[in-house]
Every structure is written in C-alpha cells, then in structure tokens.
Amino acid sequence: MDDELVCVLCKGAQDEASNITKQKLVVNNKCGHRFHQACAEKELLRRKTFPCPACQVQVRRAGLTEKTLDELEVARDITVRKRITKIFNRSEEDFGGDLRAYNDYLETMEDVIYGLCSGDKGEADRAQATVREYEDRHRGEITKNAARKVDREKVVEEQLAALRQQQESRKHYNQLEEARKQQHARKLKLEAQEVALGERDHVTATMGDALFLDSLTAEGLDGAGGELGANGNAPAAVPAGMRQMLNIPAPLPQPQSNQDTRRRFASMSVTERRPRMQKAAAAPDRALGAKRNWVEMLGSLF
C-alpha cells in the first residue's frame, strides 16, 4: 500500500473497500502528511490543534488542503516568482550585450526565489533582505522598466487586435464574394431558362459574369471556357459545363455585330457586297416575297 495515500490517523487508504463513505484525503501544508477529512474533523472538534502522529507537527484547520505538497510548492513558487520578477525586471538589453553579467543577474534572482520558497526561516530572511536592498537601490530603474514593459505589452496587444480585425475583414469579404457568386449563378440560371423557353433572345451578362463563368469552367465544370460575345462584354453563350449544371438546353446563336459584318465583306466588290450585306442585315427580298404570295394564292384555289 502506498504510504502517501494512507491516513496517518486511522492508517486507512482512500480507495479501501471498507471505506464506504469514499472519504477524501486532505494534506497538512506544514508537513505534507495526509488525513482522512472525517478523521481530521474528529480531532479538531475536540481541540483547535493536534500533533501529526508521523512527525509531531501541529495540525490546524486552516492548514489542511486537498492539494498535495508538490502542488502547494508549485503554487508557492509561482506566487513568489511573480512578485520577484516585478522587482528584478531588467532585460538583456539593459546590460549592453554583456551576456555573462545578465546570466549572473538571473542567477541572483533564482537564488532569491529559492530562498523564499525553501521553507527554511534563515534562508527566507536572507532572501528577503536581498530583495529589500535591491529595491531600495534601484527603485527608479524598477519603475522605468515596469513602464517600458507596459508599453511593449500595449504594442503587442494592438498588433494582435489589428490581426484579428484583418482576419474578420477577410472573412467578411469572403462571405460577400460567395454571396455575389451565388447571386450571379441564380441570375444566369434564370436568364438561361428564359432563353430556352423563348422569352428572350440571349443571356445578358457583364464582364464580371463572364469572368465568373470562366472561373467555374476552370475549376472543372467543363473543359471549354465561355466565349465572349462580339462586343467583348458578354459571353456569346453559357458554357457547356454551366448548361449541364443548370440543366438547360443549348442557347440560340448570338447575332453578329456591324463591325464583324463590315470586316467580313471588306474584300468583296461593290456589286457582290451590297446584296450580301442586305441579306446579313435581314433586308426584305422582293423575289422571295412574290414567290410567297404566288404560293399562298395557289393554295387558296386548290
């Protein structure tokens, strides 16, 4: 049985089968020996203090805790170190690059902390005297270093706040960009459906829509990117990948611009160019009109 988990009063362990109440073990912070909480309470009800059966150190109610002796020593070391480092607050740059002098300074500080945490009264008194002497000799420097530390912490906090703000701004921008892309996708889907139903001639889109379509096809929706229209501002047709995603048929072909027509007929002669340009511009053909009227008349007779 581990002696560290045994009550020094009743010699019972905390996890013993006969321990029906599952009593907690408390520690005397003066000697580190353990007691069942019920056993210690029974002794303290009879008297204010009682001697520890293992070492005869007086046990008081205020000195009992559920923490182990090691945990108490660590907590004491943290408290003492926090207080001493506020006094011994010189940094390496204060020694002008003399690393040996800085290490000696740190060693002196560690000796003071050990003396205050050791539990020996003589060591603690000598360490406390060293602290008072140093504080009296360097009071102005201690105040100056403390103010400089506050300024540094303020700068670091401002940098962290700026970084958090930047991350929030980037997150907000990404959310807006995603919402914009979804809105464009819904708009193009609606227009493409109207084209398929014959309610409109072609899909209208801005250059941003065209770039959005190109980005979708580049991500693997379809191997071919969307071609820009004749005016250079709108895609001639929704790409095949987008059509497949939107589940719509292929759109109608887009009309050519006047510039394309002139450029194509520039090399033709005047006599050849005129009828072709009239046909491309959808000018009425008198021969076709007469033929259509003749067919309609014959149809009415027979």
Taking residues 141-158, report their average pLDDT.
90
**Range in 47-51, 163-167, 232-236, 296-300 with the lowest mean pLDDT:** 232-236
Identify whether the C-beta of residue 200 lies closer than 8 Å to the C-beta of residue 191.
yes
Report the amino acid identity of residue 172: H
Residue 221 has pLDDT above 60, yes or no: no
Query: Chain centroid to CA 234: how far?
Result: 38
Per-residue pLDDT of 121-147, as tens digits, reads: 888 889 999 999 999 999 899 999 989
**Range in 26-30, 228-232, 282-286 with the lowest mean pLDDT:** 228-232
Check residue 292 and give its pLDDT. Answer: 67
Taking residues 71-76, report their average pLDDT.
79
Top-confidence residue, 38 or 22: 38
- Beta carbons within 8 Å of 37's beta carbon, 6+ residues apart: 23, 24, 25, 26, 64
**Range in 70-74, 126-130, 147-151 with the lowest mean pLDDT:** 70-74
Identify whether the C-beta of residue 107 lies closer than 8 Å to the C-beta of residue 131.
no
Check residue 7 and give its pLDDT. Answer: 83
Nearest-5° Cα angle at 35, 4 to 64: 110
Taking residues 240-260, report their average pLDDT.
50
Top-confidence residue, 231 or 77: 77
Number of other CB atoms surrounding residue 35 within 10 Å: 27
Percent of the chain whose pLDDT exceeds 90: 18
Q: What is the dihedral of CA 43, 46, 50, 53, to 10 degrees?
A: -40
d(CA 28, CA 15): 20
**Range in 26-35, 68-77, 149-158 with the lowest mean pLDDT:** 68-77
Residue 155 has pLDDT above 60, yes or no: yes
Check residue 231 and give its pLDDT. Answer: 42
Taking residues 28-52, report their average pLDDT.
86
What's the pLDDT band for 178 if we cut at 50, 70, 90? very high
Residue 174 has pLDDT above 90, yes or no: yes
Report in angstroms the alpha-carbon separations of 15 from 141, 177, 287. Answer: 55, 61, 112
**CATH numeric code, 3-66:** 3.30.40.10
Taking residues 95-102, report their average pLDDT.
87
Residues in the chain: 302
Check residue 33 and give its pLDDT. Answer: 84
Domain boundaries of the chain, sorted by first residue: 3-66, 70-137, 180-246, 261-301
Check residue 124 and give its pLDDT. Answer: 87
Nearest-5° Cα angle at 18, 15 to 23: 50
Task: Indicate the SS3 state at residue 185.
Answer: helix
Mean pLDDT of the chain: 74
d(CA 41, CA 149): 48
What are the structure tokens assigned to 227, written together? 């071609």
Taking residues 278-290, report their average pLDDT.
58
What are the structure tokens assigned to 266, written together? 């520039």
Q: What is the pTM of this model?
A: 0.43
d(CA 27, CA 36): 9
Residue 233 has pLDDT above 60, yes or no: no
Top-confidence residue, 227 or 142: 142
DSSP β-bridge partners for residue 13? 6
Nearest-5° Cα angle at 30, 65 to 84: 90
